[in-house]
Amino acid sequence: MSRLSAVIRGTGSSLPEKVVTNFDLEKLVETSDEWIATRTGIRERRVAREGETMSQFAVQASVRALEMANTPAAAIDLIICATVTPDMPIPSTACIIQHRLGATRAAAFDLSAGCSGFTYALSIADQFIRSGTYRNVLVIGAELLTKYLDWSDRTTCILFADGAGAVVLTGEETDGRGIVATAIHADGSMADYITLPGGGTLHPPTAESVRSGLHFIRMKGNETFKLAVRSIEEVCREVLAAAGVTAAEVDLFVPHQANRRIIDAVGSRLGMPPEKVYLNIERTGNTSSASIPIALDEANRKNLVHPGDRVLFAAFGAGLTWGAALVRW
Ligand SMILES: CC(C)(COP(=O)(O)OP(=O)(O)OC[C@H]1O[C@@H](n2cnc3c(N)ncnc32)[C@H](O)[C@@H]1OP(=O)(O)O)[C@@H](O)C(=O)NCCC(=O)NCCS
């Protein structure tokens, strides 16, 4: 029986040129390539240069996704940009991207759900498409997290990085292809686990707020780690159950690339063999809401996803938030 589904027609990504290795970080803080690689799986990451903006990488990723989807920008109905690092608070970066792409018909908004942003955006796009409201939706995950890093804090500066990924979703009558199930969750009682306290209306930007470092990302890494493993496992099981699929039937797991050890722990709890888990954290670091669409685009361009494959996405991040999606390719 055919039904209206949100099918991923194109993927794209864009990373800054500049590479910062763990050895470069050894010169900034007391750390080592060996510590970072063993504790996180990261060996190098991409970092935007001064003057480079989130929107420029988001636009480039979107152009690539639109090209692959063979969809003109003017046919896009909605743009959702998942980000916690917009070009500026007003207007939304999604509107800036809409104009640069020439997506003149599209409604556009930013979505803030920390590192889970892409799974949240996919879930929203899926609702709009299945309801028949919109046909073509551009979902972007894009971040320049390094602009908010305290390069003297070894607990955060080794983790976060920059980049953008995008997917074009189109509503089609299919026999099961497309987004099969999504789930998104939040628990604000642990809002203080990952924060960037300055620059909002609680702590408006002042010389004092900058002096006291309120515009830097802070994280309770160890506490976050444990919750991330448990929550990602649970939300994966939730979407698998909703889709009526077992973990063994998943062909490719594309998790948020926050920490190699989190991914390995989730993979082994789900009984997923390592060859089914896509990893690029070694080269990209944690790009927050951009990490899944970047990893997916890499996997797609390496022909690691085939028609009919079941692809699982899952993420966890600031909020706290977590989410997952199962897609039949
Ligand atoms: C940040 C993270 C890598 C730290 O790893 P960890 O194994 O939890 O390490 P801990 O925080 O327990 O610290 C262990 C020790 O290493 C030290 N350490 C921390 N960062 C270090 C670094 N870059 N280099 C060397 N030593 C470091 C700590 O000071 C601590 O030293 P102590 O034992 O003398 O106090 C890890 O907790 C993590 O990835 N957390 C989750 C991140 C995440 O998923 N965020 C949400 C999604 S974005």
Report yes or no: 3 and 180 within 8 Å, Cβ to Cβ. Answer: no
Statement: residue 193 has pLDDT above 90: yes
DSSP class of 257 = -
Residue nearest to atom 41 of ligand 1 (CA): 225
Question: For the residues 174-203, what does the mean pLDDT come to?
Answer: 96
Reduce the secondary structure of 262-296 to three states and give it as a string. Answer: HHHHHHHHHCCCHHHECCCHHHHCECHHHHHHHHH
Q: Indicate if ligand 1 lies below 6 Å from the C-beta of 195.
A: no
141 SS3 class: strand
| 3-state secondary structure at position 164 | strand
Q: Whose CA is nearest to atom 6 of ligand 1?
A: 222
What pLDDT digit, counting tens, does each position of 198-229 carry?
A: 999 999 999 999 999 999 999 999 999 999 99
- CA 159 to ligand 1 center in whole angstroms: 10
Distance separating alpha carbons of residues 80 and 219, to the nearest angstrom:
26
In this prediction, residue 2 carries a pLDDT of 75
The CA distance from 110 to 82, in Å, is 6
Cα of 290 vs centre of ligand 1, distance in Å, is 22
List CB contacts of 128: < 8 A, sequence separation 6 or more.
77, 78, 134, 137
Return the structure tokens found at 193: 């686990």
> CA 77 → CA 8, 156, 317, distances in Å?
15, 37, 28
The DSSP secondary structure of 289-318, one letter per residue, reads GGHHHHHHHHHHHTT---TT-EEEEEEEET
Contact 316, 115 (CB under 8 A): yes
What's the pLDDT score for residue 92? 98
Per the prediction, the chain carries an average pLDDT of 97
Q: Contact 121/62 with Cβ under 8 angstroms?
A: no
pLDDT tens sequence across 33-64: 999 999 999 999 999 999 999 999 999 999 99
For atom 38 of ligand 1, the residue with the nearest CA is: 221
Q: How many helices (H) and strands (E) in the chain?
A: 10, 13
pLDDT at 209: 95
pTM of the model: 0.96
Q: What is the pLDDT of residue 175?
A: 87
Report how far residue 186's alpha carbon sits from residue 227's, in angstroms, rounded to the nearest whole number.
12
What whole-number distance in Å separates Cα of residue 186 and Cα of residue 282? 28
Sign of the dihedral through C-alpha 16, 20, 22, 27: negative
DSSP string, 15-61: --S-EEEHHHHHTTSS--HHHHHHHH--SEEE-PPTT--HHHHHHHH
Res. 3 pLDDT band, cuts 50 70 90: confident
Quote the pLDDT of residue 313. 98
Pocket test for ligand 1, best of 28, 156, 222 (most atoms within 8 A of CB): 222
Residues 22, 136, 259, 286: which is the catalytic one? Answer: 286
The string of pLDDT tens digits covering residues 74-130 is 999 999 999 999 999 999 999 999 999 999 999 999 999 999 999 999 999 999 999
State the Cα–Cα distance between residues 265 and 146, nearest whole angstrom. 27
The per-residue pLDDT for 97 is 98
Distance CA 159, CA 180 (A): 32
The whole-number pLDDT of residue 1 equals 64
Average confidence (pLDDT) over 172-198: 96
